[in-house]
A and B are shown apart, each in its own frame.
Chain A
């Protein structure tokens, strides 16, 4: 076979290879990244019941709703730092909690939409 044909064929093969490779895998990358992202979210939102622990500061105690509002640090694997209200497992827990008190608390549940404070204790002296 003549050299120019070989060269042309090789270039075509290279181009076709790159194109096919892109079609087969290159376009998959964004989809896979999205899949990983949703899987990560799901692993945080669903699944078995577990507990998390973090520190926060008491912003409000809403006894009629049975909710304590905390500005808390990031809860690893659950949520970033934010101000948010949490249901309290039993009313006894928020007795003696003053506004502005620094606390360490434990959350129990299956994800951000299903959480309860099971322990909460002051870190600073009252």
Chain B
């Protein structure tokens, strides 16, 4: 099925680009009255008539394939109802219709053509053909990945359209020009030799610009659709793209040989001088065209593969570079600065060297050496271990339900060695070859979620950490990782106070559902962008006075852009009834799932203080968090004797005003990373 789809895409793409190429070649060569040139042109026109019909056929085939693909039934390929729905209700359909309307116009133009009498007619026919063919090919970009990854932004699709167009100009013109050179290189075609030389000269300049544009727009496409190095090296999409580049390199090499060695050999009118070079140039263009067709095959495979942006990468190396881990080590920054400067200088020198006419080897070589030395200085300190799953994206979002599940799994599977608080001090940890890791440390945040996933799955057999890949499902392992993230962040959150640190968000508020009675569950995240949130964890009767105060100030809090969400710490059963109606409370009070939420946020409710006898301080009975519009916890208040904090609503409103004035920061990731 996929092979059929690929073949159809390839045929569609190749014929479309060849159409552009034929008109390009014909326009570049110009009008001529030499017999061989006229024969070549006639042949091109014969081919355009066939090609237009073939493209239309391939279009129908792609419609049939798409019908079968979206419905999942091969039988739907020729169902008129499916076709109609696809054409009229999808983006693919709109693009298909526009595209084939343009191709029908092109078909009419080509099939109804009369013999041109003037040069103006000659040019009008070809320019019109080129425009229609180019428009039809470029429009396809709006049905591809480029338009899909960021449907709102026009830039990716425009870049992709330009990529297709320039590909048509360069790759599409290769075959017709190879044919021209072949005809001109034989004895009978000697009359068209100057004509062929002129055509190939013009093409050479156009192709240079086209190649630069292809590479630039290709880089743009890769950026939009992959975006990261792991995406390039670790996904199927990335590998296909690398294969495409690997095929492009020899094509560019051939183009270079053609331009710099064979093209100069064509000069001179003498038939004997030009002929072998011309034949060889024709052959080389043919090879280039063959490579181009291969590149198009990879491109059609790419168009059927989900972009790297949407895939979980599989990291192929045992190491990666990480600045965050290395920055803390003394001396590393100096090495980085020196190394990166040397490397940059080397890169510049290498580029300049290639542009020089004299001493090219010397300058480029020195540049390459400097680049290598610079990398050798800068990179080693940045190396950290990596695993195939290092860049895997967590399959479970960072939500209260997952963290709570992870906490239970931790108690059941990990606490024995890592200790109930994750400090590496569990009773069974003492006898292990290596002391279990302290999971509350900042180092946990430096590892990617994928690193933790790998360790959980495969263990560290030498140090005694068992592999949980068999015992815990994938979801359970991600739950555990979400819990570990919360644990490590909670350790840092001990220092949180009632004062907002302006412009320094770092603590993501795990998402949860706000459920009040029979009203539908509403995720906390849904309030983002519009509301700041005062998240209140309360116990009765201790919190009664504070809740009354908040109820009375609810209007002014809302007026300042803050929603209040209250969560009972001791479960939600009959909580509204227990709160009573005096004063009436109108802000959401969570009635379902409150325990889960309270457990998770208790991780962020610990303080730096210790209780009597050095034991952890008892859990507070009332905690309030201030969450900014992006979804970060920014301040926390735990009522205590002798401390004002947010005891007066005015001081709470002061902090809210600081958040209100901030420029919005990047929203926190759905998933830990």
Contact = CB atoms under 8 A, between A and B. Distances in A.
B118 A2 contact: yes
Contacts of B519: 56-57, 71-73, 81
Contacts of B123: 4
B461 interface: no
A7 B585 CA distance: 74
Interface string B568-599: 00000011111111001111100100000000
Given A3-B114, A4-B118, A81 B520 contact: yes
Contacts of B31: none
B520 A59 contact: no
Contact of B128 (A11, A74, A98): A11
Given A4-B120, A61-B581, A102 B518 contact: yes
B114 A59 contact: no
A98 B117 contact: no
A2 B117 contact: yes
B121 interface: yes
Contacts of B242: none
A84 to B, nearest CB: 9
Contact of B517 (A4, A8, A57): A57
A2 B591 contact: no
A99 B576 contact: yes
Interface in A14-66: 55-62
A121 interface: no
Interface residues of B, number: 33
Interface in B578-631: 578-581, 584-588, 591
Contact of B124 (A4, A69, A73, A101): A4
Contacts of B516: 57, 71, 83
Contacts of A83: 516, 586-588
B125 interface: yes
A100 interface: yes
Contact of A60 (B109, B116, B584, B591): B584
A98 B584 CA distance: 12
* Interface SS majority for chain B: loop
B522 interface: yes
Contact of A59 (B121, B124, B585): B585
A71 B517 contact: yes
A8 B124 CA distance: 8
A10 B129 CA distance: 13
Contact of B576 (A3, A7, A59, A62): A59
Contacts of B518: 55-57, 72-73, 102, 123
A98 B109 CA distance: 80
Contacts of A4: 118, 120-121, 123-125
Nearest to B522: A81
A99 B517 contact: no
A59 B125 contact: no
Contact of A2 (B109, B121, B581, B584): B121
Nearest to A83: B586
A50 B116 CA distance: 74
Interface in B521-535: 522
Contacts of A102: 517-518
A100 to B, nearest CB: 3
Interface string B483-523: 00000000000000000000000000000000011111010
B257 to A, nearest CB: 39
B591 A57 contact: yes
Interface in A74-116: 74, 81, 83, 98-102
Nearest to A99: B581
Contact of A62 (B574, B584, B588): B584
Given A57-B591, A60-B586, A73-B519, A100 B118 contact: no
Nearest to B121: A3
Which of B109, B575, B584, B591 has the most chain A CB atoms inside 10 A of its CB?
A: B584
A81 B513 CA distance: 14
Given A4-B123, A72-B519, A102-B518, A59 B586 contact: yes
A100 B116 CA distance: 87
Interface centre among A6, A60, A73, A102, by most chain B C-beta atoms within 10 angstroms, is: A60
A81 B516 CA distance: 10
Contacts of A58: 576
B125 A3 contact: yes
Nearest to B586: A83
Nearest to A100: B576
B588 A71 contact: yes
A8 B125 CA distance: 10
A60 B574 CA distance: 15
Nearest to A58: B576
A62 B582 CA distance: 10
Contacts of B116: 3
B117 A99 contact: no
A55 B579 CA distance: 21
Contacts of A59: 576, 584-586
Nearest to B580: A99
B520 A99 contact: no
A72 B588 CA distance: 11
20 contacts: A2-B118, A2-B120, A3-B114, A3-B125, A4-B120, A7-B125, A11-B128, A57-B591, A60-B581, A69-B586, A71-B519, A72-B518, A73-B519, A81-B520, A81-B522, A83-B587, A99-B580, A100-B517, A100-B575, A101-B577
Interface of A: 2-8, 10-11, 55-62, 69, 71-74, 81, 83, 98-102, 123
Instruction: List the 8 closest A-B pairs by CB distance, nearest first.
Output: A57-B517, A100-B576, A4-B124, A60-B584, A100-B577, A3-B121, A55-B518, A4-B120
Given A4-B121, A4-B125, A57-B518, 8 more contacts: A10-B128, A11-B128, A55-B518, A56-B517, A57-B576, A69-B584, A81-B522, A123-B518
Interface of B: 109, 114, 116-118, 120-121, 123-125, 127-128, 131, 516-520, 522, 574-581, 584-588, 591
